Amino acid sequence: AEYTRLRADWGMTAIRFLITWSAIEPAQGHYDDAYLDWVRARIQLARAAGLAVVIDMHQDVYGEGFGFDGAPAWTCDAANYASFTPKEPWGLNYAAPEVMACFDHLWSDAATRGALTAAWKHVAEALADEPAVIGFDLLNEPSWGSHAVGSFERDVLQPFYEDTIAAVRTVAPHWVAFVEPSNSRNLGFATSLQPFAAPNVVYAPHLYDVAAEQTGGFDPAKATALMEDAVDLADEAEVLGAPRWIGEYGGQSADPEIA
């Protein structure tokens, strides 16, 4: 019923379906195929409602070890979880040294980074034959950890994207790759991603008003700035030689004044 409402009442033609690495690979090297069967069943419901699906590997504040969603706990030193004290609003937790350490480990440790790529390949093996799936969003709002913001996307994130796109397409060559900039883009930093060697890549940034996210309210005086940012995102997509697809934006259906 929810999928039907999205299509019939909202006019949506596609959904971004969130999955998490912790659900796919709860123990190192052991995939939960029952979870992927659950995902398949819901993708089939979306198809029946006339919706295309982009599968999104989601994370918020790294993963389950910090009480959020994303990476499984085994991917980082448990000492980081033990010493972590959560803050409000929740986005501030990205600056916690423990969270930064886990992102640093993900990006610098070839085995851990490779495990995420392998998990994506396993997802593709399980779902490549689902006709509703048109593509995959490689990682939600990836964070730079302690790496220099200005070079993180070029030096760290893009090579991960390139490797993972290649791995997924060994089993799902028809899937379109939706690539996100670092979550620094939400703070106003222009992306430093470069044109991709792989074909069929879509630039998939998010569009938020930072103040609205922090306070829960939107100031109409900022509407012009928000739309100008949307134009900037289109310009960045043009540099990448890719379409722009905004995967998230601020708003609630019940009240347009609330972000």
58-85 residue pLDDT tens: 999 999 999 999 999 999 999 999 999 9
Q: What is the 3-state secondary structure (H, E, C) of 29-93?
A: CECCHHHHHHHHHHHHHHHHCCCEEEEEECCECCEHHHCCECECHHHCCHHHHHHCCCCCCHHHH
User: Is-above-0.85 flag for pTM?
Assistant: yes
241-257 residue pLDDT tens: 999 999 998 766 666 56
Q: Which residue has better confidence, 259 or 100?
A: 100
pLDDT at 209: 83
149-175 residue pLDDT tens: 999 999 999 999 999 999 999 999 999
Tokens read off for 159: 């090579």
pLDDT at 256: 58
The strands making up 176-179's β-sheet, listed across from edge to edge, are: 14-19, 52-57, 133-137, 176-179, 201-203
Contact predicate 83/108, CB 8 Å: no
Residue 183 has phi, psi (to 5 degrees) of -65, -5
Contact predicate 176/152, CB 8 Å: no
DSSP tag of 240: H
- What mean pLDDT is reported for the chain? 95
Please report which confidence band the pLDDT of residue 217 belongs to, taking 50, 70 and 90 as the band edges. Answer: confident
